Structure 1
Amino acid sequence: MKKKYFFLTVLLLFVICSYLIGPLFPEFFTHIYNQKFYSYLDSFLHLISNIFPFSLGDVLYAVVVIYFIYKCFVLIKRKLYKDFGVFILTSVLLFFGIFQVFWGWNNYKFSVAHQLKLERSYTQAELDSITKKLTEIVNSQQFLITKDSLKEVSIDKDLELFNKTAKLNYTKLPDHLKEILTDNKINDVKPSFYSYLQAYTGFSGYFNPFTHENQLNIEIPTIGMPVTVAHEMAHQLGIASETEANFYGYKVMLQSTDLKFKYAANLYALKYCLKQYRYENEETYQLLFKRLNVGVQQNILESEQFWLSKRNVSSYFFKNLYGRFLKINNQKDGIQSYNKFVDLLINYNKKYLEI
């Protein structure tokens, strides 16, 4: 019994210290943890997880949840309430402790903006400018693909092709973007067993921090899949921030030779720019939306209608829960960190002039 409490105390201190001290040492987590320990661990897990054509992590989650529920039921039935409390606390601490060691400490690295020495924040004029440019690019690409401004762009659901394209495109990134990532073999993104449930909880995909596998929600509109695949791969390569993973997803698919993938990337970026207007003024958003080809509008509406049709109480609950989880893990904006993508996009373009 004493050993049990000793282990619990050590585990508690480890987790508390990890979360309190972690943000104080970005240099260590950027150059030592990320580039050495995490990189070696990811290489090892790559050998294991890639043996299986299905998501080993999805199976692991199911086994753990079933065991957790069973154990709780047994302890409560036997009225071992003290043991029940210890079991719950130990389970929570093990989750956070293993999460931190296996991947979570990437949250304490220097940000991409810091490593690239980018400015922070942007003016309304800068947002107007990049939105106008992206609108012109997207309209042009949509017409080149379909030969009809009224027709939406269609992408075949081909996860094998998305994986192949994303992996190749990561090698085409500019050196200043590649240097921020770990130099590891990229795992294929696998279809999640829980895609149906993920659609109702509001998630397009996820990276499993315990097995380092990338999963895609295969229920989402196909137009969003290529960037989502690249986004999840960015997490495996050590990008913790959702904002930065969004940015890498966009930049990776922009390297494509296939115009449809370029269109999907530019549409992705444009949608985030348009969201900024929508947050402040619906009328301005509608005016900008009407400047898009009807086919482009249809691609945007398809995605919006999909998520709207799945929205329910669980969507709000899980989004809020995930937002709190991000805040705990040094992503101070929580779920809203997704919307910081525009800031990174504008300031990256100001320095590298790529749009």
Structure 2
Amino acid sequence: MRRKGLKIRVGWITLVVLVVIIKVISANSEWVERYFTYGLYPVITTVLRFLLGWIPFSIGDILYILVIIGAVYKVIRLIKLIRRKQFSKQYAYRFIGKAVFLILLVYVIFYGSWGLNYSRQGIASQLQLSEQEYSTSDLDTLVGLLSNRLNGQAQLLKPAMRDSFKSKQNLFFNASLLYKIAGTKYPFLSYKGYSVKPSLFSYLGNYMGFQGYYNPFTGEAQVNTTVPASVAPFVASHEIAHQLGYAKESEANFVGFLACRLHPSVHFKYSVYFDMYHYAVRELAFADSLKAKSYDSTLHPRAKKDIADYIEFYKKYRNPIEPYIDRMYSYFLKANNQPKGRRSYNEVVTWLIAYYKKYGKEVI
């Protein structure tokens, strides 16, 4: 019994020390960038991708399913104990202690394997970009550039091009290939050993409002493969950006943009401009709704149809639970250096404006 008690105390002390270390490191973005993002993290993610990337289904999703089953079992057992009046104070203390220990363990694994990237210097440091407030005029310029690019790609896009990416494996392989291409221009985007997979929760994801997610426990990028074809390539590239250590949603969006625009496929280029236009015109609508509508009216018929299909797709899945899930996710983002919550995705507009202001409009 003494040996067991000693192990428990050592376990608690170790976890608490690791939590403190993570908090101290996360307070210094330079340390995170140097010692974690380009130190420990590449080793962790590369090993995970090579170990699990070859498996055709998501190990991470199966892990989540097992956790959910375990949690449901524990809750049912707890309810039975309460009904039988067997829920003593001693049991309650043990239950709370185990729950806190588990939360600390998940915290350490999550931030120690990936989450510290929320505190890195990121793309601003790598491209010498300044994250500044932008004017309505800056936004207008960006939307004009994106609408021109989107219309240009829409003109080139043929149905056969989209059909060639109906194969999930072809889509995922090309998404990983685009980072190999991007890595020749931006060395910090080099990518080895891809691990991109269809989510086992794809249909459920439509009701919950997600298009993809990264599993930091297994290093897998999951894509909701039921989303419209107009956004699927960009979703895959966004999730790979998370694999590369860009944890913040605005940065993952921007990195996805940098990579997708270099891909030889018209479908991939169209997808990135479709998404970026959506983010930018939405921001413009807050400042000048008439101007935003005028841009929408000048879009290529292909883009107009895709926007209508996209809206119709998500209308089918609206439900009373989604806003609560949305709110919880916003709290999670705010707790991880993204104060705008869900609107953090839209902050890619800040990076796009800073990028064209520094390197010229042709980079858009």
TM-score above 0.5, yes or no: yes
Quick one: distance in 1 between partners of 2:212 and 2:257?
15
One-letter identity of the residue aligned with 2:135:
T
Partner of 1:4: 8
Which consecutive residues of structure 2, in runs of 5 or more, have no partner in the other structure? none
Aligned-partner Cα distance in 1 for 2:250–2:291: 24
**1:122 corresponds to which residue?**
134
Distance in structure 2 (CA, Å) of the matches to 1:96 and 1:240: 16
- The equivalent residue for 1:177 is 186
Rate the CA distance shift 1:12–1:328 in 2: closer, same or farther, 3 A. Answer: farther
Q: Which residue of 2 is the match for residue 214 of structure 1?
A: 221
Equivalent runs, 1:6-25 vs 2, <5 Å: 7-8=11-12, 10-12=14-16, 14-15=18-19, 18-19=22-23, 21-25=24-28
The equivalent residue for 1:321 is: 328
**Alpha-carbon contact 1:42-1:184 (below 8 Å) kept:** no
The change in CA–CA distance for 1:287 and 1:350 in structure 2 (over 3 A counts) is: same
Q: Which residue of 2 aligns with 1:64?
A: 67
Using the alignment, how far apart are the partners of 1:217 and 1:145 within structure 2?
23
Q: Which amino acid aligns with 1:288?
A: Y
Number of the residue aligned with 1:84: 95
Q: Are the equivalent residues in 1 in contact too, given 2:207–2:317 (CA < 8 A)?
A: yes
Alignment check: 8 A CA contact 1:186 1:237 kept: no
Which residue is 1:200 aligned to?
A: 207
Partners of 2:8 and 2:118 in 1: CA distance: 30
User: Which has the higher mean CA deviation after the structures are superposed, 137-146 or 240-249?
Assistant: 137-146
Structure 1: unaligned runs, 5 residues or longer: none
Shift in Å, 1:234: 0.9
Q: Does 1:256 align with 2:279?
A: no
RMSD: 2.3
Amino acid at match of 1:113: A
Match of 2:32 in 1: 29
Pair 187,221 (structure 1): closer, same or farther in 2 beyond 3 Å: same
Residue 159 of structure 1, aligned match among 151, 168, 171: 168
Larger CA deviation: 271-280 vs 114-123 = 114-123
Shift of residue 344 of structure 1? Answer: 0.3
Look up the SS of the partner of 2:321 in the other structure. helix
Find the partner of 1:187 among 194, 203, 206: 194
Alignment of 1:229-268 (within 5 A): 229-268=236-275
1:191: Cα distance to partner?
A: 0.7
Report the Cα offset of residue 96 of structure 1. Answer: 1.3
Aligned length, in residue pairs: 347
Corresponding residue number in structure 1 for 2:347: 340
Q: Secondary structure at the match of 1:331?
A: coil
Distance 1:158 1:285, change over 3 A: same
Q: Which of 291, 302, 321 is 2:309 aligned to?
A: 302
Q: CA deviation at 1:327?
A: 1.9
Q: Is the 8 A contact 1:166 1:252 kept in 2?
A: no
Contact 1:55 1:192 in 2 (8 A): yes
- Distance in 1 (alpha carbons) for counterparts of 2:315 and 2:284: 20
Q: Which moved more, 1:322-331 or 1:196-205?
A: 322-331
Cα offset, 1:231, TM superposition: 0.7
Distance in 2 (CA, whole Å) between partners of 1:10 and 1:352 is 48
Post-superposition shift, 1:352? 2.2
The whole-number CA distance in structure 2 between the counterparts of 1:192 and 1:243 is 22
What per-residue deviation string (whole Å, max 9, x for no partner) do you get for residues 148-188 of structure 1? xxx9x955422222222222221222667332x4x552423
Instruction: Pick closer, same or farther for the CA change 1:325–1:176 going to 2, 3 Å.
Output: farther
What is the alpha-carbon distance in structure 2 between the residues aligned to residue 186 and residue 45 of structure 1?
Answer: 9
Report the 3-state secondary structure (helix = DSSP H, G, I; strand = E; otherwise coil) of the residue aligned with 2:56: coil
Q: Distance in 1 between matches of 2:25 and 2:327?
A: 24
Judge conservation of contact 1:57–1:208 (CA < 8 Å) in 2. yes
Shift of 1:275: 0.7
Shift of 1:132: 1.2
When normalised by structure 2's length, the TM-score is 0.88
Match of 1:52 in 2: 55
- Residue 281 of structure 1 and its aligned partner are, at CA, apart by 4.2
Aligned counterparts of 2:221 and 2:59: Cα–Cα separation in 1: 10
User: Which residue among 144, 154, 164 is the counterpart of 1:142?
Assistant: 154
Q: How many Å apart are 1:60 and its aligned residue?
A: 0.7
* Contact 1:253–1:261 (8 Å) recurs in 2: yes
